Amino acid sequence: MPGIVECVPNVSEGRRADAVDRMAAAIRAVDGVRLLDRTSDTDHNRSVFTFAGPAGAVEAAAHALVGAALREIDLRTHQGEHPRLGAVDVVPFVPLAGATMEECVAIAHRFGRAVAERHDLPVYFYAKAAPRPERVRLPDIRKPQFEGLAEVIGTTHVPDAGPARVHPTAGAMVTGARPPLIAFNIELDTADVKLAKRIAKEIRESSGGLPAVQALGFELTDPPRAQVSMNLLDTSQTSLARVWHEVETRAAAEGVRILRGELIGLMPLDAALQAAASGLRLDGLPRDRIVEAHFIE
Residue 169 near residue 86 (C-beta atoms within 8 A): no
Q: What is the DSSP string of 147-159?
A: HHHHHHTTTTT--
Q: Active site residue: 82, 119, 157, 294, which one?
A: 82
CA torsion, ordered 27, 31, 33, 39, to nearest 10 deg: 20
3-state secondary structure 174-233: EEEECCCCEEEEEEECCCCHHHHHHHHHHHCHHHCCCCCEEEEEEEECCCCEEEEEEEEC
| Alpha carbon distance 212, 217 (integer Å) | 17
| Alpha carbon distance 211, 203 (integer Å) | 9
Q: Can you give the C-alpha Rg of the chain in angstroms?
A: 18
Q: Report the residue count for the chain.
A: 297
- For the chain, helix, strand, coil in percent to 5 are 40, 25, 35
Tell me how far CA of residue 127 lies from CA of 4, 86, 236, 255, in angstroms. Answer: 19, 17, 17, 38
82 is catalytic: yes
* Positions marked active-site: 82
